[in-house]
Amino acid sequence: MSGRPPPAGVRARVPVPLALPEGTTVRGRLVTFEGLVDGREHLAVELGDPDREPPLVRLHSECLTGDVLGSERCDCGAQLAEALAQISAAGGVLLYLRQEGRGIGLYAKLDAYLLQDAGLDTYDANVALGFGADERDYTVAAQMLGALGRTSVRLLTNNPDKADQLVRLGIDVVACVPTGVHRRDANVRYLEAKARRAAHTIEVAG
């Protein structure tokens, strides 16, 4: 999708204390929305100075295996922890987007893991299951930012597609701030595929 999406609204802001990985506790605000085009329950986490301009923003796609269970097959859990810490310090918003497995869903993502174990990379595994290599659409992210009054952002990402989609959707991305490279023995092939296939700005060698 391109062009400004239809407007969405803030449904509620809920203060929640959040324990960051380094052991500190910060006061976050969880924001729910109405009018999102896909009807899913996406969430924003406001952290730090709410008036910081431009805010540091992370679009984080849900990853149950990495975010909750600590799987080392990806870098999602480590990126989430890093983003919460950086945004808390800088002031901004984390958008937690319900699009598991680059948009294919949890069960399909686990099926893709089996195909990766048989030799396919993370993108070809999705295609072999009948999906696009990356099915994520960030229209709802632009809607959420608009509802929060955030139309100019510093984007915390190594993925150029996130910035490209937001710009097409009317969000001014004034800078891309790279995340760390969270390399593990179990995710080297995954990281290499992201750099090779989707131009992620990461250096995997190490």
The residues that are catalytic are 134, 136
Integer-rounded Cα radius of gyration of the chain: 17
Neighbours of 179 (CB within 10 A): 20
Crossing angle between the packed helical segments 139-147 and 160-168, to the nearest 10 degrees: 60
Q: Which residues pair with 66 in a beta bridge?
A: none
Q: Residue 73: which of 124, 117, 104 has the closest Cα?
A: 117
Q: Which residues pair with 176 in a beta bridge?
A: 155
Q: Residue 122: which of 188, 44, 37 has the closest Cα?
A: 188
Structure tokens, 22: 């380094």
Helix (H, G, I), strand (E, B) or coil at 55: coil
103: left (phi over 0), alpha (psi -120 to 50) or beta: left
Structure tokens, 123: 């993108």
